[in-house]
Chains A and B, each alone.
Chain A
């Protein structure tokens, strides 16, 4: 692209405030307006697919769990779905409920995590501290179920690895009550906040056409009015047996993505409650004995907190996959930046980049770029200053 005379380029990354992980963006700006965005990925590439092809099916579950620490249920679930798809294996009913419970708990903690970071980016550290404080009970539930706060290692081909102790279901119920009341409080507080609303409505809009054209998935597409949700479209595990709604908003902006995620947290707590209720009555085995996987192909899908995770496995009858392909949701969501970031002020770019929850998280690592006469530009400060301005306008 030919740059006009007034255009400046702002490199963001690979180590910068928005991204916990190293990523690189090159924003082209004219004055305060972003006119183009270019991305460079690959800083996190560890060759999962290659390593997975040298491991047995059970070992590769351990491996795909470590694709992303926040989606550490989604990837194993999609992976075991793919292996089970090769032989059309069934799983026990109790295992299905445990899988769904773990998956939905993960969605709660992931969305709360995002909410906190989004608050942090626009200068709402209170929201950050709140959301992360009330995320702790969810991690506590994981610790009760699996023994680890993250990376649960629960999935196996043909079921789950650990049963939920009946004595602990009661304890889990109690923790879920805490989560529920706190989450309701946060959702209400965030959605009623006039400053948050005027800061985010109409910012970084991704139109329905762009969302479809760029194959956006998950909350990113559902906020643009595309009602795609693997849990409803192709219900695996216990999703066909529980009652929940798919949240769709039509605005396409950051605010709509926020609303979709907040309401999804409430839906997830509903699903968790139904699963815990079922775990009290549904007894039986949790793991079917799978002796061998025959030669063939299988695909596995799961609705991760960020969108559809897709795994493809080709087997040759041995105990490992000869080809394992992974498509993560952020991979298709990240290119939507080029549609949603163009033409917006640079102060909004940060939150727009963060709004698709591209599997990054944040520390206070500010990038400073030398401007010609403006001294230095600080991304995070720009974003926060705009919020402060709006706050002053509203509260006088």
Chain B
């Protein structure tokens, strides 16, 4: 798929999956679109449907109610699809590991390719993370 990935890297379309976050990473993701950071200049675009997406931005610990829907979104996404975990929640569960409502194995529901830790990560960190993904895609 090397040739395909290289073409993908030119313009990544991302879809945002909020799986029970605290809303902060989501706001910072939206912040990327606004004039200060303006990620569209890198060809990165937030799209309205998961069927158009190359990358899923996942934020939040995944609770039991939202888990089947997140799984469904992941299955509906066209392949190849890369999943970026935004924030501390997908990486380590933040402060919610004691909760009764978490799904035990996050990786079974949606395998994550790249983690961007931080609570919330700064927009610069998110841009750096996606730039690393582009590097990997370019081989």
Chain A residues within 8 Å of B, Cβ to Cβ = 14-15, 17, 20-22, 42-47, 50-51, 54-55, 59, 62-63, 66-70, 72, 113, 116, 128-129, 132-133, 136, 149-151, 359-366
Contact = CB atoms under 8 A, between A and B. Distances in A.
Nearest to B94: A66
A368 to B, nearest CB: 8
Interface stretch (B24-32, B77-85, B107-115): B24-32
A15 B26 CA distance: 13
B99 A51 contact: yes
Contacts of A15: 17-18, 69, 73
A150 B24 contact: yes
**Which 8 residue pairs of A and B lie closest in terms of their CB atoms, listed nearest first?**
A69-B24, A132-B34, A47-B99, A69-B23, A366-B48, A20-B26, A133-B35, A66-B22
Contact of B49 (A50, A113, A366): A366
A46 B99 contact: yes
A69 B48 contact: no
Nearest to B73: A15
A21 B98 contact: no
Given A46-B61, A50-B100, A51-B95, A362 B30 contact: yes
A132 B28 CA distance: 11
Contacts of B23: 20-21, 68-70, 359-361
B131 interface: no
B66 to A, nearest CB: 5
Contact of A20 (B18, B47, B94): B18
B65 interface: yes
A68 B22 contact: yes
Contact of A113 (B27, B65, B101): B27
Contacts of A70: 23-24, 27
Given A45-B20, A66-B22, A69-B120, A136 B36 contact: yes
Interface in B67-126: 69, 73, 94-96, 98-102, 119-120, 122
Contacts of B49: 365-366
A129 B37 CA distance: 11
B58 to A, nearest CB: 12
Interface in B1-21: 15-21
Given A69-B26, A132-B35, A50 B99 contact: yes
A116 B31 CA distance: 11
A68 B47 CA distance: 24
Nearest to B122: A149
A363 B30 contact: yes
A113 B28 CA distance: 11
A28 B66 CA distance: 24
Contact of A363 (B16, B61, B100, B101): B16
B138 interface: no
Contacts of A55: 95
B46 interface: yes
Contacts of A113: 27
Contacts of B20: 22, 43-46
8 contacts: A14-B66, A21-B23, A43-B20, A54-B98, A69-B21, A113-B27, A149-B120, A364-B48
Contacts of B96: 46-47, 51, 66
B61 to A, nearest CB: 6
Contacts of B35: 129, 132-133
B110 to A, nearest CB: 14
Q: Output the residue of A21, A63, A359 with the most chain B CB within 10 A.
A: A21
Contacts of B30: 20, 132, 361-363
A254 to B, nearest CB: 21
Contacts of A72: 22, 24
B27 A361 contact: yes
B8 to A, nearest CB: 20
Nearest to A16: B48
Contacts of B101: 45-47
A363 B46 contact: yes
A46 B96 CA distance: 7
Given A133-B36, A361-B27, 16 more contacts: A15-B18, A43-B20, A45-B63, A46-B63, A46-B99, A46-B102, A51-B96, A51-B99, A55-B95, A69-B24, A132-B35, A133-B34, A150-B28, A363-B30, A363-B46, A365-B49
Contacts of A129: 34-35
Nearest to B38: A129
Nearest to A362: B30
A296 B45 CA distance: 53
Contact of A364 (B26, B47, B65, B98): B47
